[in-house]
């Protein structure tokens, strides 16, 4: 074998990797959008301003990510904790209530949650954060419960029989085995939230939804496209990223 | 030593274990047998407090187990179940190391112990140490299950129908392994099964349970010769009673200390009579030479002596 060929192959694999490609496209769109100004000008000759320039796309993207990240994190912490709680003997009674609440959170259109939250919390990112967290809760709770219940009875019995306490069982056996399922719930929640966060701009949170909403209000299709394309690319990148994480969480299955 | 004193457990509306008193001596291989629903598994699971009795006391080495923290109690006992229950996300090594790790053994000691156990259970360390459970056959998985149970050198090993799900050949091999391990380690073993052949093969003493009650408790030969009631007779199987007896009695019990020269390969004195009959049929003879454990001639086994009761 030629020396260095492994490195070459590794470099090729990295360059043709779909996650790398998606990240590259996202970065190019975020940073390079101003360069496309002539293109938008040509496509929409009727528009005075064919490029959204009130904020940089980079700042919007980072704000968007922060909103999604923070709301997802809160949903993961609350959702996993709640899922763990209702699968313990002491919390089993609350399971029905929790599932009802989580389902309601998802049934509510996010716009409605925003509308209710604004009078209480005012305009800005706070009501958006609440709405997105509630929205992300259902898939995370559901998958946490399903993942924990999917741990085989024999595995739990031997864990108990060998002398693992409740905490050891949870962290060494149940959560690692439930991780792939929980992760799938987080993935669903995050990808949905990337799209939903765009709506949060209606209550004054700065996100990639801003060009879309400004564009819709002012009949500027170019703005709408610029915002939407980046939101889509962001969703794709996160989805591919979770795909990678999912593969890591079940590495033992390939062994 | 494990002592049950008038132990009762109810799962309303029925009584799973009903006033059982029983002592398993230290170093004994005790098999609990009975039809399904007889309470044999429940009785065993009360020893490591997976099930807590409603009435009565269980002592292990004189200590009332109700006074101990369940986790501490369980770490002192090995536990093997029918469905193995290996941790699928851990390697064979980490699975076997479960209890030593919980007990905080130093890494080097754990590693040495895992190597010894892989040897003891006849698992090639190079092949299996870093393998994951799903890469193993059912028999190999249960070997790892037994190794995991023995890892912290427990004085007591609890086994709940451990070989019932295995094919007959694998089961036979693992039964032989258990007999050898019991001899080598002197561990007290409580073994639950519904298979009388397995019980007769493994046990020093057999406890027969039915409807939560202890029907009979004694060595295999006593169970065969003096079954306490029809339930015991049914468990033994009325038709092949004689064959069961041949499986339990050994050549030594029927050998004639003759000096007569008999041709052919000799039988070891501790072989079951069943094996002797099989050899006689295969060789077309009615007598076989017998040797003792050191290979010295010990006499001759005659067919007529085998069939005489």
* Domain residue extents for chain B: 2-244, 250-307
Task: Give the least confident one: A229-233, B1-5, B235-239.
Answer: B235-239
| Mean pLDDT of all residues in B213-237 | 92
For A168, nearest residue in chain B (alpha carbons): B102
pLDDT tens-place string over residues A158-173: 999 999 999 999 999 9
Residues on chain B bordering chain A, Cβ-to-Cβ distance under 8 angstroms: 48, 50, 70-75, 79, 81-90, 98-99, 102, 131-132, 134-135, 145, 148-149, 158
| Mean pLDDT of all residues in A239-246 | 92
Answer yes or no: do A154 and B85 touch at CB < 8 A: yes
Closest CA to B44 of B206, B164, B158: B158
Q: How many helices (H) and strands (E) does chain A have?
A: 13, 0
Confidence of residue B117 (pLDDT cuts 50, 70, 90): very high
Answer yes or no: do A157 and B71 touch at CB < 8 A: no
CA distance B86 to chain A (A): 6
pLDDT tens-place string over residues B261-283: 888 888 888 888 988 999 999 99
CA distance A156 to chain B (A): 7
Answer yes or no: do A162 and B131 touch at CB < 8 A: no
The rounded distance, in Å, linking the Cα atoms of B150 and B174 is 15
Confidence of residue B293 (pLDDT cuts 50, 70, 90): confident
Nearest to A157 among B73, B85, B134 (CB): B85
Confidence of residue B13 (pLDDT cuts 50, 70, 90): confident
What is the percent of chain B with per-residue pLDDT over 70, rounded to a whole number? 100
Q: What is the DSSP letter of A122?
A: -
Answer yes or no: do A161 and B99 touch at CB < 8 A: no
For B48, nearest residue in chain A (alpha carbons): A161
Closest CA to B212 of B44, B43, B32: B43
Q: What are phi and psi of B76, to 5 degrees?
A: -90, -5
Answer yes or no: do A252 and B132 touch at CB < 8 A: yes
Asked if the C-beta of A150 comes within 8 angstroms of chain B's C-beta atoms, the answer is no
| Mean pLDDT of all residues in B218-225 | 93
Nearest to B84 among A154, A162, A177 (CB): A154
CB B151 within 8 A of CB B94: no
The rounded distance, in Å, linking the Cα atoms of B46 and A98 is 35
Answer yes or no: do A176 and B79 touch at CB < 8 A: no
Contacts B79 to A, Cβ<8 Å: 158, 161-162
Answer yes or no: do A158 and B75 touch at CB < 8 A: no
For B50, nearest residue in chain A (alpha carbons): A161
> Does the structure show a pLDDT above 70 at B176?
yes
Q: Mean pLDDT in chain A?
A: 89
> Does the structure show a pLDDT above 70 at A239?
yes
Helix (H/G/I), strand (E/B), else coil: B54: coil
Answer yes or no: do B86 and A155 touch at CB < 8 A: yes
CA distance A158 to chain B (A): 6
Q: Name B267's bridge partners.
A: B290
Contacts A255 to B, Cβ<8 Å: 131-132, 134-135
A87, two tokens: 């699968």
Confidence of residue A113 (pLDDT cuts 50, 70, 90): confident
Answer yes or no: do B102 and A177 touch at CB < 8 A: no
Contacts B97 to A, Cβ<8 Å: none
> Does the structure show a pLDDT above 70 at A105?
yes
Task: Select the CATH number that applies to the domain covering B2-244 from these four: 3.40.91.10, 3.40.50.300, 3.90.650.10, 3.40.47.10.
Answer: 3.40.50.300
CA distance B84 to chain A (A): 7
Determine the pLDDT at residue A1.
Answer: 46
Determine the pLDDT at residue B174.
Answer: 95
Give the DSSP letter string of A36-86.
Answer: GHHHHHHH-TT-S--S--SS-HHHHHHHHHHHHHHHHHHHHHHHHHHHHHH
Q: Starting from the edge strand earliest in sequence, which strands make up the sheet with B213-218, in order?
A: B77-81, B156-160, B188-193, B29-33, B205-210, B213-218
Task: Give the least confident one: A16-20, A76-80, B60-64, B68-72.
Answer: A16-20
Question: How many pairs of residues across A and B have Cβ atoms under 8 Å apart?
Answer: 72
The rounded distance, in Å, linking the Cα atoms of A101 and A95 is 10
Domain edges within chain A: 5-254
Burial of B258 (0-12, 13-18, 19+ CB in 10 A): middle
Answer yes or no: do B79 and A158 touch at CB < 8 A: yes
Task: Give the least confident one: A14-28, B31-45, B61-75.
Answer: A14-28
Answer yes or no: do A161 and B50 touch at CB < 8 A: yes
Nearest to B87 among A155, A160, A165 (CB): A155
Confidence of residue B91 (pLDDT cuts 50, 70, 90): very high
Task: Give the least confident one: A106-120, A224-238, B74-88.
Answer: A106-120
Asked if the C-beta of A163 comes within 8 angstroms of chain B's C-beta atoms, the answer is yes
Nearest to B102 among A156, A158, A163 (CB): A163
Asked if the C-beta of A152 comes within 8 angstroms of chain B's C-beta atoms, the answer is yes
For A154, nearest residue in chain B (alpha carbons): B85
Q: Name B57's bridge partners.
A: B5
CA distance B91 to chain A (A): 8
Answer yes or no: do A158 and B102 touch at CB < 8 A: no
Answer yes or no: do B132 and A158 touch at CB < 8 A: no
What is the percent of chain A with per-residue pLDDT over 70, rounded to a whole number? 96
pLDDT tens-place string over residues A200-228: 888 888 899 999 999 999 999 999 999 99
Answer yes or no: do B132 and A253 touch at CB < 8 A: yes
> Does the structure show a pLDDT above 80 at B222?
yes
Cα angle, residue A158 at apex, residues B26 and B53 outer, rounded to 5°: 60
> Does the structure show a pLDDT above 70 at B231?
yes
> Does the structure show a pLDDT above 60 at B186?
yes
Greater pLDDT, B247 or B23: B23
Answer yes or no: do B131 and A255 touch at CB < 8 A: yes
> Does the structure show a pLDDT above 80 at A15?
no
Q: What is the DSSP letter of A214?
A: H
> Does the structure show a pLDDT above 70 at A4?
no
Answer yes or no: do B85 and A165 touch at CB < 8 A: no
Nearest to B48 among A153, A156, A161 (CB): A161
Task: Select the CATH number that applies to the domain covering A5-254 from these four: 3.40.50.2300, 1.10.3720.10, 3.10.20.600, 1.10.645.10.
Answer: 1.10.3720.10
- Which CATH architecture group holds B250-307? Roll (3.10)
> Does the structure show a pLDDT above 90 at B79?
yes
Answer yes or no: do B89 and A155 touch at CB < 8 A: no
> Does the structure show a pLDDT above 90 at A85?
yes
Determine the pLDDT at residue A178.
Answer: 95
Confidence of residue A5 (pLDDT cuts 50, 70, 90): low
């Amino acid at each position: 074998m030629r020396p260095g060929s492994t490195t070459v192959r590794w470099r090729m694999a990295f360059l043709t990797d779909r996650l790398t490609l998606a990240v590259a496209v996202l970065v190019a769109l975020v940073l390079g959008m101003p360069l496309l100004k002539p293109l938008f000008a040509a496509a929409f000759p009727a528009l005075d301003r064919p490029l959204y320039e009130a904020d940089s796309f980079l700042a919007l993207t980072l704000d968007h990510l922060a909103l999604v990240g923070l709301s997802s994190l809160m949903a993961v912490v609350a959702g996993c904790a709640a899922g763990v709680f209702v699968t313990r003997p002491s919390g089993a009674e609350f399971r029905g209530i929790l599932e009802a609440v989580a389902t309601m959170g998802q049934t509510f259109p996010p716009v409605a949650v925003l509308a209710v939250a604004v009078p209480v919390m005012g305009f800005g990112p706070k009501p958006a954060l609440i709405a997105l967290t509630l929205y992300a809760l259902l898939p995370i709770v559901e998958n946490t419960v399903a993942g924990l219940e999917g741990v085989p009875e024999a595995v739990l019995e031997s864990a108990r029989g060998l002398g693992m306490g409740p905490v050891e069982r949870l962290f060494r056996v149940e959560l690692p085995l439930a991780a792939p399922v929980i992760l799938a719930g987080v993935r669903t929640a995050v990808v949905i939230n990337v799209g939903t966060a765009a709506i949060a701009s209606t209550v004054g949170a700065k996100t990639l939804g801003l060009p879309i909403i400004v564009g819709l209000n002012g009949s500027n299709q170019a703005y709408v496209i610029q915002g939407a394309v980046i939101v889509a690319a962001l969703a794709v990148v996160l989805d591919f990223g979770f795909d990678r994480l999912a593969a890591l969480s079940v590495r033992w299955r390939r062994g | 030593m494990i002592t049950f004193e008038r132990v009762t457990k109810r799962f309303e509306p029925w009584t799973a274990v009903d006033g059982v008193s029983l002592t398993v001596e230290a170093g004994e291989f005790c098999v609990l047998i009975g039809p399904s629903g007889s309470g044999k598994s429940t009785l065993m699971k009360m020893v490591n407090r997976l099930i807590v009795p409603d009435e009565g006391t269980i002592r292990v080495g004189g200590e009332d187990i109700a006074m101990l923290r369940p986790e501490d109690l369980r770490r002192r006992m090995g536990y093997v179940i029918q469905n193995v229950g290996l941790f699928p996300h851990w390697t064979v090594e980490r699975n076997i190391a479960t209890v030593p790790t919980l007990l905080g053994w130093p890494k080097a000691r754990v590693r040495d112990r895992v190597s010894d156990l892989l040897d003891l259970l006849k698992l090639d360390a190079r092949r299996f140490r870093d393998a994951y459970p799903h890469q193993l056959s059912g028999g190999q998985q249960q070997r790892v299950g037994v190794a995991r149970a023995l890892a912290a050198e427990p004085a007591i090993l609890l086994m709940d129908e451990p070989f019932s799900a295995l094919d007959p050949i694998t089961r036979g091999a693992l039964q032989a392994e258990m007999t050898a391990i019991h001899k080598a380690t002197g561990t007290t073993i409580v073994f639950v099964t519904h298979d009388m052949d397995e019980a007769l093969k493994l046990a020093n003493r057999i406890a027969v349970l039915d409807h939560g009650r202890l029907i009979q408790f004694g060595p295999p030969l006593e169970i065969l010769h003096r079954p306490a009631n029809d339930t015991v007779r049914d468990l033994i199987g009325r038709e092949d009673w004689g064959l069961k007896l041949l499986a339990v009695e050994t050549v030594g019990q029927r050998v004639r200390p003759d000096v007569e020269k008999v041709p052919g390969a000799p039988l070891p004195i501790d072989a079951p009579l069943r094996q002797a009959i099989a050899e006689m049929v295969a060789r077309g003879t009615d007598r076989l030479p017998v040797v003792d454990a050191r290979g010295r001639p010990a006499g001759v086994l005659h067919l007529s002596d085998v069939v005489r009761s």
